[in-house]
Chains A and B, each alone.
Chain A
Amino acid sequence: AQKVTQAQTEISVVEKEDVTLDCVYETRDTTYYLFWYKQPPSGELVFLIRRNSFDEQNEISGRYSWNFQKSTSSFNFTITASQVVDSAVYFCALNVPSSNTGKLIFGQGTTLQVKP
């Protein structure tokens, strides 16, 4: 079975704090892709990152960083020095090419509230 779990339903932090959003995935396939999306209050889905299963290098993009660990099946997302504009729902997603559906399997989402 393929599954994505985001155990943190809601997180609240004060501006400038660092925050990590957890993502645990399940698949028996060795080839897969992991994604993070941001959904601000306006509702659209904003693509943040796509990572393939063969690339375990951590990635940093400005205040955002991602830690991919195959040993623990996790793909965690850290926001450094959070800002109010980071308040949103964040989704982790999994794609398994062998399913031949092209679909993304989404986690439940984590709502992040950054307070001023």
Chain B
Amino acid sequence: DADVTQTPRNRITKTGKRIMLECSQTKGHDRMYWYRQDPGLGLRLIYYSFDVKDINKGEISDGYSVSRQAQAKFSLSLESAIPNQTALYFCATSGPGNSGYGYTFGSGTRLTVV
């Protein structure tokens, strides 16, 4: 099994629908992240969490919310999807400290909002 599992892998949804992207990890790490990838922009941080009670906004959190249900689970929600949220979404986890040690990405969720 993958260290970081994202579901679904692909999703097409309609404008205005609520959608949840799920992420689970088996690395035992406390730190988890959600990134969004757009062509020509690289990956940008949406939200990050250092433990179940510590959730923080990243640089592009508007229109998104997250839930850290357990140490191993971190889900991303789009309350009312819009077409410009069409992107590739990555969940990641990292080891202790702030140095990016042990960064592990999931395989990504390709979301299309029509």
**Cβ B103 vs Cβ A35 within 8 A:** yes
State A106–B88 Cα separation when bound (angstroms). Answer: 15
A-B contact count (CB 8 A): 66
Chain A residue total in the interface (Cβ 8 A): 26
State A101–B28 Cα separation when bound (angstroms). Answer: 18
Chain B interface mostly helix, strand, loop or mixed? strand
**Cβ B108 vs Cβ A103 within 8 A:** no
> Is A80's CB within 8 Å of the partner chain B?
no
Whether A43 contacts B88 in the complex (CB less than 8 A), given A102-B94, A104-B100, A108-B41, comes out as yes
What mask results when residues 3 to 39 of chain A are scored 1 for a CB within 8 Å of chain B, else 0?
Answer: 0101001000000000000000000000001010000
**Cβ A102 vs Cβ B33 within 8 A:** yes
What mask results when residues 93 to 112 of chain B are scored 1 for a CB within 8 Å of chain A, else 0?
Answer: 01001111101110110100
**Cβ B56 vs Cβ A101 within 8 A:** yes
- Contact surface of A with B, Cβ cutoff 8 Å: 4, 6, 9, 33, 35, 43-45, 47, 50, 52, 91, 93, 95, 97-104, 106-109
The residues of B that contact A108 with a CB separation of less than 8 Å are: 40-42
The residues of A that contact B44 with a CB separation of less than 8 Å are: 106
Whether A97 contacts B103 in the complex (CB less than 8 A), given A102-B48, A103-B33, A107-B42, comes out as no
- Of chain A, the residue at the smallest CB distance from B50 is A102
